[in-house]
Amino acid sequence: MAPFRFAGEWRIRADADGVYAALADVDAYPEWWPGVAATRRIDAASGQIRLRSLLPLEVVFTATQRTADPVRRVLVAHFSGDLDGVGRWQVSAVCDGARARYDEHFVVRAPLARRGGVLARPVVYAGHEHLMRAGERGLSRYLGAAPEP
């Protein structure tokens, strides 16, 4: 299956340092991110993440931290498992809170998605969009932020 590339941003009406801290705390994702079914710490720099998708399909991968820079508010992780690639967050302060930009580049290795071939691509795109929108709303609630209009 050809690689996927996703880029976008979340607008959160909360302090940029708080947004960065929440994104850096992967262990807490299941508390606020509806698409994250579970996380399991492997060591200080890596952990397993289990995602729920729109279909009755789970995606399980290991995220290994490559960069965690609280001064620049940058997070970079390598993915391996059902997803193989890299994800990056850059959190910036803006006038009404924070902007969290994400950039992900990965190949899906999950067997069911691979067997679906080209037909699975729209499902992956729709699932990712749903996952990210739910994450943005969940993080806003978690941080006690007013939702974006």
Specify the pairing of strand 83-94 against strand 74-81.
antiparallel
pLDDT in single tens digits along all 149 residues of the chain: 689 999 999 999 999 999 999 999 999 999 999 999 999 999 999 999 999 877 667 899 999 999 999 999 999 999 999 999 999 999 999 999 999 999 999 998 877 665 666 667 888 888 899 999 999 999 999 999 866 65
Place of tokens 């969009």: 129
What is the pLDDT of the chain when averaged over all its residues? 91
Domains and their CATH numbers in the chain: 4-142 (3.30.530.20)
How confident is the model over 73-85, as pLDDT tens digits?
999 999 999 999 9
Biggest CA pair distance of the chain: 46
**Beta strands in 53-82, from DSSP E residues, in sequence order:** 58-69, 74-81
Query: 74 near 64, Cβ under 8 Å?
Result: no
